[in-house]
A and B are shown apart, each in its own frame.
Chain A
Amino acid sequence: AMDTDLSSQDRKDLDKFIKFFALKTVQVIVQARLGEKICTRSSSSPTGSDWFNLAIKDIPEVTHEAKKALAGQLPAVGRSMCVEISLKTSEGDSMELEIWCLEMNEKCDKEIKVSYTVYNRLSLLLKSLLAITRVTPAYRLSRKQGHEYVILYRIYFGEVQLSGLGEGFQTVRVGTVGTPVGTITLSCAYRINLAFMSTRQFERTPPIMGIIIDHFVDRPYPSSSPMHPCNYRAGEDNGAVYPSVEDSQEVCTTSFSTSPPSQCVFTVTKAHFQTPPPVVTDTLKVPVMGLAFSHQLSSSRLSYQPAALAVGSADMGYPVLLAGGLTAAHPHQLIGPGKEGGVPPVPSQPAHGTQADQERLCTPLDGAHYSAVTPSSSEDTETVSNSSEGKCGSPHDLLETIFIRKVGAFVNKPINQVTMANLDIPFAMFAPKNVELEDNDPMVNPPDSPETESPLQGSLHSEGSSGSSTGNTHDDFVMIDFKPAFSKDDILPMDLGTFYREFQNPPQLSSLSIDIGAQSMAEDLDSLPEKLAVHEKNVKEFDAFVETLQ
C-alpha cells in the first residue's frame, strides 16, 4: 500500500507541507487582488515562521477563511481547494473573474524526497504563483478597484465550479509538484471577455412574479460560502476578532543536509506564540475605497458583518460611512458631515465597552473634507480618549481604511426601484401584515427611542433615524443608515443591530439548492395554471379584500 512506503514522519511532514502550502496559496492570491503593490523583505537569517523560505504575509482573516473552508481536510482527489475571485460593482452586479484551483491527482511519485525535494518544489510553485497572479486580466482590474467596483474572494473546498466564468474562459497552469501521495496541481481558469464598464455587461434578472431571488449574477449555484472583499486592513492586532495565525502556528525550521540526499534532517517544531505583529515589516497597504454601497444596503437583505467604507449616492447629499469591526460603542469612528458639514457631534461616552483593540478609522474621502476623528484632531477629545487609548492618534491612522468583512448573498435588485432619499420599505410586499400607511410607519416617525439605544440616534441626522444599533455585544459591525430598509413590524421590534444579527446568515433558499433548484422552479411554473384557476374562483373574496384597502 502507498502509505507503507512513506515513513510516518514523512507522511506527517507531507501533510503539513500541503496544508501550509494551501494556506500560503490563498494568501498569495488574495493579496494579489488587494489592489496594492505587495512588498516583503528578504531576510538572510531564517525566522522560522516563513514557510517555504518565502516572505509571504499572513492576513489573519484570510487564513481563517481558508481554514474554515478546508475544515481540517487537505486537497485530495476530487476535493480541490478553490479560490474564486469576482468583481462587484457599486450597483450590485457581480461577475466571476477567476477560479484558482489547488488540486490533487492520483499520479504518485514514490521516489521523491518529501522533506527536501517536495518542499523546495512547493517553494518554487509559490514563486510561480506570485508571478502568474500578476499576469491574468483580473490583476489589472484589481489594481484599479475602489471607485466603481471591488474585488471579492471566496474560498471553497470540493468540486471545482467553472460555469460562472462565462464562455470561452482560459486556463493557465501555474505548476505541479509530484509527491508520494499524489500530484499537486495549481492552475487558474479566468474569464476572458472583460469588456468592462459597458452598461449591459451584466445580466440583470428582474424579479419574477414579485419573488426576489438572492443570487449573484451568472452564478447557477448558491453561494455556499460568503464572499469577501480582497481589501483588508492588515497589520494591526486582530486578536479580538480572529486568532492571529501565529497562535499555535507550527513553525517550520528548515534544516537541510548536504550529505547524501537520503539524509535529510528536517525538523518541524511546534511553537506557540502570543499574537505578535508580523515579524517582517511588510507594507501591505490597503487602498482607499470610495464606493457607493449605500444603495445595496438599502435594497438588500444583507448578511453584512463588519461593513464597508461607503459613499452614498449623490442624491443622498451626504455620504454614509460605515465603520468596520465595531459596535456602536465607537461612534467616533463614523464620519459624516451631517448638517454641519464637519464632524458630527460625538456622544460623550461610548455606549458600550469593547474598546481598545478596535480603532479602525475612516479615510477622508476624495473630494470631501472630513476631519477623521482621532484623538489628535477630534473636537470631542474626551470621547475619543475614553477608548482606544494609545492606539489611535497618529496621522497614519487616517490613511487606514475600514473594510467589508463579509458580504453574504444579497438581493440583486435593480437600483431604480429603491432610492435612499425616499425609502419605501422594499420588502413591504413580503411583510406578513397589511401595508401600513406612512403615518404609522415607524421608519418615518420613529418612536421615542428606548433608553438603551445608542446616543448616536438623532445626532447624526436631523430626521431622527433610528438606524443605529443598541449597545449590544454584536461586535462585528455597526451601520449607520438613516432610513433603514428593514422591519417595521411591531411584533418584532427591530433595531438595526438585531435585524442584522437575525438576517446575517440566512439559510440557503431551498429553491436554489443545486438539486432541487431547477426542479422546483419548473414545478412552480407548472402549477401556475392551477393556482390561477383557484384565484379566479375566489375572485369575489379578493375584490372584497381590495375594497378594504381603499
Chain B
Amino acid sequence: SARAAAMNCRAEVLEVSVEARQVEEAALAVLHTVLLHRSTGKFHYKKEGTYSIGTVGTQDVDCDFIDFAYVRVSSEELDRALRKAVGDFKDALRSSGSDGVGQISLEFYQKKKSRWPFSDECIPWELWTIKVNVVNLANEQERQICREKVGEKLCEKIINIVEVMNRHEYLPKMPTQSEVDNVFDTGLKDVQPYLYKISYQITDSLGTSVTTTMRRLIKDTLAL
C-alpha cells in the first residue's frame, strides 16, 4: 500500500485463485505461517533488565478443502482471532457477488508514544497482502483438480514466505519492560506475536472497493 511504502515498511503480496469454500483455509494457512515466524514465547522480565522467553508449541493443521497441511503456533486464542478475521473476509467476499476479488492484509506495526494531545502512532514495519481471486467451478472433476492445484500453490507460498523471513531484515528492537506493549501483543496467555492488525478490502463486481479494518484488541487501547 502507498502508506506502507511511505513508511518504509516491507511489503509482500501473495496471490491465490481459489474456490469460495477454500478461501478461509488458504488465508489461514498463509496468516498462520507468517505468525509462526512472527511470534515468540512470552517474555518474563526479571531484575536488571533481563528477561526470559517462554516456549512456543506448534501443531499440524490439515485442510479439508485443499490437499494441503501447514504448521501453526499452538495458541487457541491466536487461532480464534485469525479465524474470526478470515471468516469475516470470506463473508464479505461472498456478499460482494460471485466474481468477487478481495485481499486480506496482515500488518505488523510498532507503537510510538506521543505526547498529549497527540495519539500514539502506529508505524508498520511489515505488511503481508493476500490477494484472493474466487473462481467458480463447473463440476466435481474440476473441483478435485482445484484441490490439488491450490495445494501446490500454497506450498509455493509457504516457500516464498520462508524466503522473506530468512532475509533477516528489519525487526523491532527487543523492548524493555516498559516498551514491550509497543512492540508485542502481550495479551495472549501462551504466546507473544508482534503487534499486528488484519484488514481486508473487497472489490465487488462493480469495481467498488470496501475496506474494513479490524483492530486487534490490545491492552492499552489507543486514544481513539
Which residues of A are at the interface with B, using a C-beta cutoff of 8 A? Answer: 37-47, 50, 53-55, 121, 124-125, 127-128, 130-132, 134-136, 139-140, 143, 172-176, 253-259, 261, 263, 265, 280
Contacts and interface: CB of A to CB of B under 8 A. Distances in A.
B119 interface: no
B54 A45 contact: yes
B70 to A, nearest CB: 6
B57 A55 contact: yes
Nearest to A56: B58
Given A39-B57, A40-B58, A130-B71, 18 more contacts: A41-B57, A41-B190, A44-B42, A45-B44, A45-B54, A46-B44, A46-B52, A50-B55, A54-B58, A131-B70, A131-B158, A131-B161, A175-B162, A175-B165, A255-B46, A256-B50, A258-B175, A258-B177
B44 to A, nearest CB: 7
9 contacts: A42-B75, A44-B54, A53-B56, A54-B55, A131-B71, A140-B69, A255-B50, A256-B174, A258-B49
Of the four ranges (under 10, 10 to 19, 20 to 34, 35 or more), the interface on chain B belongs to: 35 or more
Contact of A43 (B54, B159, B166, B177): B54
Interface string B33-65: 100110011101110111111111111101000
Given A39-B74, A42-B74, A54-B58, A132 B49 contact: no
B189 interface: yes
B186 to A, nearest CB: 11
Contacts of A41: 57, 74, 190
Contacts of B33: 131
A39 B74 CA distance: 8
A139 B60 CA distance: 12
**Among all A-B residue pairs, the 6 with the closest Cβ atoms:** A175-B166, A135-B155, A37-B60, A39-B59, A40-B57, A55-B57
B211 interface: no
A258 B40 CA distance: 15
A128 B53 contact: no
Contacts of A140: 67, 69
A132 B159 contact: yes
A258 B51 contact: yes
A254 B165 contact: no
Interface of B: 33, 36-37, 40-42, 44-46, 48-60, 62, 67, 69-71, 73-75, 154-155, 158-159, 161-163, 165-166, 168, 173-177, 189-191
A257 B49 CA distance: 5
Contact of B53 (A55, A256, A259): A256
B166 A128 contact: yes
A134 B42 CA distance: 26
B62 A128 contact: no
B41 A40 contact: no
Given A131-B70, A255-B46, A280 B162 contact: no
A481 B166 CA distance: 52
A46 B53 contact: yes
B35 to A, nearest CB: 10
Contacts of B189: 44
Contacts of B175: 258
B166 A46 contact: no
Given A44-B189, A127-B36, A134 B41 contact: no
Contact of A42 (B37, B45, B55): B55
Contact of A40 (B36, B45, B74): B74
A44 B190 contact: yes
Contacts of A263: 49
Given A42-B190, A44-B189, A46-B52, A121 B168 contact: yes
Contacts of A136: 155
A178 to B, nearest CB: 8
A128 B55 contact: no
Contacts of B162: 128, 131-132, 174-175
A124 to B, nearest CB: 6
A37 B62 contact: yes
B171 to A, nearest CB: 9
B200 to A, nearest CB: 23
Nearest to B51: A256
Nearest to A116: B174
A42 B52 CA distance: 15
Contacts of B48: 257, 265
A261 B48 CA distance: 14
A130 B155 contact: no
Given A127-B37, A134-B69, A258-B175, A42 B158 contact: no
B71 A47 contact: no
Contacts of B46: 255
Contacts of A130: 36, 58, 71
Contact of A134 (B52, B60, B177): B60
Nearest to B45: A258
A41 B190 CA distance: 9
Contacts of B161: 131
B41 A42 contact: yes
Contact of B50 (A124, A176, A265): A265
Contacts of B166: 124-125, 128, 173-176
